[in-house]
A and B are shown apart, each in its own frame.
Chain A
Amino acid sequence: MTVIELNYAEMLGYRAEDFEEVMPRVRESLMPRPGRDYKVFLGPEPELREGESLIEYTLSLCPQCLSLVRAVVFEREGKVLIRKRCPDHGEFEEVYWGDARLYRKFRRWQYDGRGVSEPVLSASFFCPFNCGLCVRHKSHPSLVNLVATNRCDLSCWYCFFFAERAGYVYEPTLEHVRYMLKVARSLRPVSAKALQITGGEPLLRDDIVDLVRLAKEEGFTHVQVNTDGIRLAFEPELATELREAGTNVLYLSFDGVRPSTNPKNHWEIPYILESCRRARMGIVLVPTVIRGYNDHELGDMIRFALRHIDVVRGVNFQPVSITGRVPRAEREALRITIPDAIIKIEEQTEGQISRDDWYPVPFVVPISHFVEAMTRKPQVAFTTHFACGAATYVFKDGDRMVPITRFIDVERLFERIEELSQVLSRGANKYVTLLRLLRALDSCVDWSKVPSCLGGRGRVVRLLFNIFVRHNYEALGEFHYKTLFLGMMHFMDLYNHDISRVQRCCIHYITPDGRLIPFCTFNVIPELYRDRIQRAFGIPIRKWEELTGKRLVDCKYRRNVRKLVEGDAYRRCYEGFVDFSAISVEEHVAISRKFGVPTS
């Protein structure tokens, strides 16, 4: 089947029902096709060499031609690596996880999810060329990404995604978004409940507040906006409107505490924080971590977050995903994996947050099992692959950072919760089981070490009880106000791609043709997914300008560095992090311009 030529300009007046009718055919035409788009080589598995020990074999992609190939995951000199061989392009070897000991620890927590009972697609092609979702997928989406626009107010040198570089504007109408959200909400047995509105820069949409409202109308309980936040620095009322419309949290790009490490929005961050404070909007800082660039600031980023804990709920580090075809030496210079970042945090916090304080994302699955057993309803469960992410919680105790693991025996607690959920699902009395859970909670806490900010014993137990048992969103909110969530999410690239991670992915993109595509195929194989789909639904720039009466270039941001660095909020925000006397305004300007943001 050839790709259907769409004219999105003619679909601007469609209702959600119209999209529902048309999209199955469009989807079919956009699917990757064997031969045309990819090849499959399922030959013998790659061999191990001296000094290497097998962990497991898996399936991966050739970074050159995208062929599906067999791969081996193995340990060598304390690291975990992946190696694959393409018959046409030879061998590729990459660090998979920088620390084998942490890999073995994390591997203990892996659960199979339920997948989706009524998949959007049949499994006609090999994974990952059939994404959207099909019966092979082992998890349900726990966070759905919606690309609201590919317009951006910045033109970062490394980004190929924004409208000018793509050559078209991708911006689904609100009715089209409604259709997409309905698809995500209709998933069974567990419908999507959390939405991330992303871009481009989603705040460039004039109707962004309506879009948030729409997501709430469609039943999303958690809505976050992934943004550089620049518009909020100058329009504090927009933060309030977003909050009032139902935005739960801002996912704010933040790559470091100094201008040199965060040239994207360093100067605006203080004002964004102020706007969010006023709007009572929580922020999760999202640093992309690159070796040799900002990996020396991980500890400072956490301290910065704790300084602003009244508004910052967490830091979600994202080790760099190396896009495109990059030579090995260059990859090695940039590559940082989850355990590398965790170990750097240990070093940069003088052991206050150690490597042993982190757990893989699926560690919390017993909570879902317990709530399921209590309610007899399928629950969202983070059954993602153990190697995809890590997390911990940190409390501020005076000047000290206290990870949750220092006063709660979390392993014993979660083992107990899992046991109790099994007892419950075999028919045990709910109230008796709840009492046993309370006892377990109490016995797993070392009360002498609980940070004072958490209050007394009764309050802590009640808080944990609400989170674990009631799955109470407000309780979770209260928990977050007192703690800092620290997360890591390492999205894959073509070099470290592992199909078994794709199949367990919990973070999906909802696409305009009604597919739900795992993050690491949507972005890692853009020629088959992201770019192909968005191009099909894009409007050529000139046409878009005619239709809207706007000029694309007008959305580009011009920075007034002097005004920003001279503001009180700037100094208050970065006191102790930035040596104000050491950097002149001219140097600030030079950093901004070098990154590609013009100044006025």
Chain B
Amino acid sequence: MAGLKFSSYEAQFELTLPRREEVRLRVVEVRGLSSEGREVQLPPPSEAPVGIADYLEFENRLVKMLFLTLSDVFHGQLAIRKLVYDVPEGVLALVERVEVSRRSSGSETATLYELKYRVGAGVELASVSELSHTST
């Protein structure tokens, strides 16, 4: 498990269908969990260039959070940032909290999602849940 990395993505893009919307994804926190369920602090992330495989991984999370695909995201301009965390030994799960804000004419929403990942030979998305939702 030594040398295992976890990539987190922050992004900003515009949707055009079925309506125009601006969407922003911000990573609020990423933490590790040990086998006893104990919280493990991760070292600060470093920024890395986004490769082709990252788009697939980003889309995988996006589909499960928002039912959006790369095709939706690429309808407008996409700004994407990749943050890479080293996963310390003994970490069996990762928890990532992502805030998604969506703005369309006359309304704005902010939703906090929690993504849980299994850590084994690699890092695999296990579940996505919505923690809170506000609209104005």
Beta-carbon nearest neighbor of B52 in chain A: A40
Residues of chain B within 8 A (CB-CB) of A107 are 17
Residues of chain B within 8 A (CB-CB) of A56 are 16-17, 75-76
A123 near B: Cβ within 8 Å? yes
Q: Mark A124-168, 1 if CB is under 8 A from B, else 0.
A: 011100000001101000000000000000000000000000000
Residues of chain B within 8 A (CB-CB) of A136 are 59, 63, 69
Q: Mark B23-58, 1 if CB is under 8 A from A, else 0.
A: 000000000000000000000000000001001100
A503 touches B63 (CB 8 A): no
CA gap between A136 and B71 in the complex, in Å: 10
CA gap between A136 and B56 in the complex, in Å: 11
CB proximity to B under 8 Å, residues A15-42: 40, 42
CB proximity to A under 8 Å, residues B98-126: none
Contact of B60 among A42, A111, A123 (CB under 8 A): A123
In the assembled complex, the CB of A257 is this many whole angstroms from the nearest CB of chain B, namely 38
Residues of chain A within 8 A (CB-CB) of B59 are 123, 136
In the assembled complex, the CB of B63 is this many whole angstroms from the nearest CB of chain A, namely 5
CA gap between A138 and B63 in the complex, in Å: 10
B72 near A: Cβ within 8 Å? yes
A500 near B: Cβ within 8 Å? yes
CA gap between A123 and B59 in the complex, in Å: 9
Contact of A127 among B17, B67, B70 (CB under 8 A): B70
Contact of A58 among B18, B60, B75 (CB under 8 A): B75
Beta-carbon nearest neighbor of B60 in chain A: A123
Residues of chain B within 8 A (CB-CB) of A112 are 18, 67
Residues of chain A within 8 A (CB-CB) of B70 are 59, 126-127
In the assembled complex, the CB of A581 is this many whole angstroms from the nearest CB of chain B, namely 54
Residues of chain A within 8 A (CB-CB) of B56 are 123, 125-126
In the assembled complex, the CB of B114 is this many whole angstroms from the nearest CB of chain A, namely 19
A111 touches B18 (CB 8 A): yes
**A interface bracket (residues with beta carbon within 8 Å of B):** 20 to 34
CA gap between A494 and B72 in the complex, in Å: 20
Chain B interface, number of residues (Cβ within 8 angstroms): 19
Residues of chain B within 8 A (CB-CB) of A135 are 63-64
B18 touches A499 (CB 8 A): no
CA gap between A107 and B16 in the complex, in Å: 10
Is the contact region of chain A dominated by helix, strand, or loop, or is it mixed? Answer: loop
Q: Mark A557-586, 1 if CB is under 8 A from B, else 0.
A: 000000000000000000000000000000
Beta-carbon nearest neighbor of A41 in chain B: B52
A503 touches B52 (CB 8 A): no
In the assembled complex, the CB of B123 is this many whole angstroms from the nearest CB of chain A, namely 16
CA gap between A45 and B76 in the complex, in Å: 9
Q: Mark A193-211, 1 if CB is under 8 A from B, else 0.
A: 0000000000000000000
CA gap between A55 and B72 in the complex, in Å: 13
B52 touches A499 (CB 8 A): no
Beta-carbon nearest neighbor of B55 in chain A: A42
CA gap between A111 and B67 in the complex, in Å: 13
Beta-carbon nearest neighbor of A126 in chain B: B56
Contact of A59 among B17, B74, B76, B77 (CB under 8 A): B74
B64 touches A127 (CB 8 A): no
Residues of chain B within 8 A (CB-CB) of A487 are none
A515 near B: Cβ within 8 Å? no
CB proximity to A under 8 Å, residues B49-97: 52, 55-56, 59-60, 63-64, 67, 69-72, 74-77
In the assembled complex, the CB of A464 is this many whole angstroms from the nearest CB of chain B, namely 26
A57 near B: Cβ within 8 Å? yes
A500 touches B71 (CB 8 A): yes
CA gap between A112 and B19 in the complex, in Å: 10
CA gap between A110 and B20 in the complex, in Å: 12
CA gap between A59 and B71 in the complex, in Å: 6
B64 touches A57 (CB 8 A): no
Residues of chain B within 8 A (CB-CB) of A111 are 18
Residues of chain A within 8 A (CB-CB) of B76 are 56-57
In the assembled complex, the CB of B102 is this many whole angstroms from the nearest CB of chain A, namely 14
Q: Mark A41-71, 1 if CB is under 8 A from B, else 0.
A: 0100100000000011111000000000010
CA gap between A127 and B71 in the complex, in Å: 9
CA gap between A257 and B17 in the complex, in Å: 39
Beta-carbon nearest neighbor of B54 in chain A: A42
A115 near B: Cβ within 8 Å? yes
CA gap between A57 and B56 in the complex, in Å: 18
User: When A127-B70, A135-B64, A136-B69 are in contact, do A110 and B18 touch as well, CB less than 8 Å?
Assistant: yes
A123 touches B63 (CB 8 A): yes
In the assembled complex, the CB of B136 is this many whole angstroms from the nearest CB of chain A, namely 20
CA gap between A410 and B70 in the complex, in Å: 34
B74 touches A503 (CB 8 A): no
User: When A126-B56, A135-B64 are in contact, do A503 and B69 touch as well, CB less than 8 Å?
Assistant: yes
Residues of chain B within 8 A (CB-CB) of A58 are 71, 74-75
Residues of chain A within 8 A (CB-CB) of B60 are 123
Residues of chain A within 8 A (CB-CB) of B18 are 110-112
In the assembled complex, the CB of B46 is this many whole angstroms from the nearest CB of chain A, namely 22
In the assembled complex, the CB of A134 is this many whole angstroms from the nearest CB of chain B, namely 9
Residues of chain B within 8 A (CB-CB) of A138 are 67, 69
CA gap between A126 and B56 in the complex, in Å: 7
CA gap between A22 and B74 in the complex, in Å: 38
The 8 A-B residue pairs whose C-beta atoms are closest, nearest first, are A110-B18, A56-B75, A500-B71, A499-B71, A56-B16, A136-B69, A135-B63, A59-B71
- A residues bordering B, Cβ < 8 Å? 40, 42, 45, 55-59, 70, 107, 110-112, 115, 123, 125-127, 135-136, 138, 499-500, 503
A-B contact pairs, 15 of them (CB 8 A): A40-B52, A42-B52, A42-B55, A59-B71, A70-B74, A111-B18, A112-B67, A123-B59, A126-B56, A127-B71, A136-B63, A138-B67, A500-B17, A500-B75, A503-B71
Instruction: Please name 6 further chain A to chain B contacts, defined as beta carbons within 8 Å, in addition to the given A42-B74, A56-B76, A136-B59, sorted by A numbering.
Output: A40-B52, A56-B16, A58-B71, A58-B75, A59-B74, A135-B63
